[in-house]
Amino acid sequence: MNRLKAILPIIVIAQFCCTSLWFASNAVMSDLVINFGLAETAIGHLTSAVQFGFILGTLVFALLAIADRFSPSKVFLISALLGAAFNAGILWEANTLATMLSLRFLTGFFLAGIYPVGMKIAADHFEKGLGKSLGFLVGALVLGTAFPHLLKGITNVFPWESVIITTSSLAIIGGLMMVILVPDGPYRKQSQGVNLSAFFGIFKNQNLRAAAFGYFGHMWELYAFWAFTPLMLKTYNDLHPETNFNIPILSFLIIGIGGLACVLSGYLSEAFGTKKMAFISLALSCVCCLISPFLFAIASQQLFIALMLFWGMTVVADSPLFSTLVAQNAAAEIKGTALTIVNSIGFAITIISIQLISSLKTVTDSNSIYICLAIGPILGLLALSKKRS
């Protein structure tokens, strides 16, 4: 039992270290724009490149049932090492936008062997209390995603390259921790080979389908909110010249507080039910989307920050809950494949919402554009509220 208790913190730390690769380029975007002559629109393109890579990676991992056929810890290590290498490629002085897009795409590809595989590893070790366990795990993802912003904020005295070097180093450490300290779990059931029927048939399960559709609605909002959080803070700064936000640090806090929300939602799900807590979180973040135009008119910067922190919590608190519902409703031998497929589709949806916001920013200065992020939560809530036969 003591060994089991020790495994969860190891998985969480390893997940945090490796997912710091995700927004590494976003944290130093202003430096990339200056040093490589990129356009301001590069933020949307580079973020989407990671998402595209992750999508293709998850499709390949799912079709080949990689996490179900081979030791998940070894898959995690190999993915972490390759992801770290391609992330470090951003340091190449001859980079162009095209090479950066390729490097971020490949980084995203190998993140497919980190995030969903990490959840698979947790599900193999924790049958009871899975929601709480995944709450810690997704919380680690959130902190890992936010961490480059913190690095940028506290390393202003160092070159921007230090952010890239640190995140790649952390990914290597995380991969080694997983393969050395986390054995295959007792609830793991090895798949015997590629099972295309499992890939195409998981949505026949009504409960899994409802959880997946709720997750898709959540994902429409999540990464677009994360990607544009620094820009939203800059917009408020510009509208209220008396403010002087430290945007990297505040971006870290707004995104990172979601990690605490994931842990909290995991505990609450044990008391009130996983599906109910997912519904409440999705509804609250939907409200934040709908009132977003009014945030920028708020004169009090304290109130603005408080509401952004609240949005940062609710936007991701349901993520581990939806993953829990997917894992609980999938057959044991295809659990990793089911989680990977649902992740793949969810991240494909993020590209649409990110590019939509990017496109709207080029044609209007209106702060009402963030209302469109409510589309996903509304559809997700409808899927969750639909009665089962």
- Token pair recorded at residue 236: 């408020």
Mean pLDDT in the chain?
Answer: 87
Per-residue pLDDT reduced to its tens digit, 7-43: 889 999 999 999 999 888 877 877 888 888 887 777 7
Using the Cα atoms of residue 191, residue 270, residue 8 and residue 278 in order, give the sign of their dihedral: positive
Per-residue pLDDT reduced to its tens digit, 149-158: 888 777 666 7
* Residue 386 or residue 368, greater confidence: 368
Least confident of 44-58, 70-84, 276-290: 44-58
pLDDT confidence tier of residue 356, bands split at 50, 70 and 90: very high
What CA–CA distance (Å, rounded) separates 152 from 278? 32
Half-sphere exposure in the Cβ direction for 104 (13 Å, CA): 24
Report the percentage of the chain scoring pLDDT > 70: 91
What one-letter code names the amino acid at 5?
A: K
Alpha-carbon distance values, 290 to 207, 224, 294, 318, 352 (Å): 28, 15, 9, 18, 19
12 contacts 182 by C-beta, under 8 angstroms: no
113 contacts 71 by C-beta, under 8 angstroms: no
149 contacts 248 by C-beta, under 8 angstroms: yes
**Residue 165: Cβ-neighbour burial (10 angstroms; 0-12, 13-18, 19+):** middle
What CA–CA distance (Å, rounded) separates 95 from 98? 8
Domain carrying residue 142:
2-385
Using the Cα atoms of residue 331, residue 337, residue 343 and residue 349 in order, give the sign of their dihedral: negative
Least confident of 154-158, 234-238, 252-256, 284-288: 154-158
- pLDDT of 188 reads 67
Alpha-carbon distance values, 48 to 87, 105, 281, 378 (Å): 15, 8, 25, 23
Report the number of distinct structural domains present in the chain: 1
What one-letter code names the amino acid at 254?
A: I
Q: What's the average model confidence in pLDDT over 75-99?
A: 94
Q: What's the average model confidence in pLDDT over 285-299?
A: 92
236 contacts 291 by C-beta, under 8 angstroms: no
CATH code of the domain containing 200: 1.20.1250.20
* Residue 366 or residue 119, greater confidence: 366
Alpha-carbon distance values, 241 to 115, 305, 364 (Å): 40, 16, 21
Burial 300-312 (b: 16+ CB within 10 A, else e): eeeebbebbbbbb
**Residue 363: Cβ-neighbour burial (10 angstroms; 0-12, 13-18, 19+):** exposed
Per-residue pLDDT reduced to its tens digit, 296-350: 988 789 999 999 999 999 999 999 899 889 888 877 767 767 877 888 888 889 8
- pLDDT of 76 reads 95
What are the two backbone dihedrals, phi and then psi, of residue 23, each rounded to the nearest 5 degrees?
-110, 25
Closest CA to 346 of 323, 369, 313, 364: 323
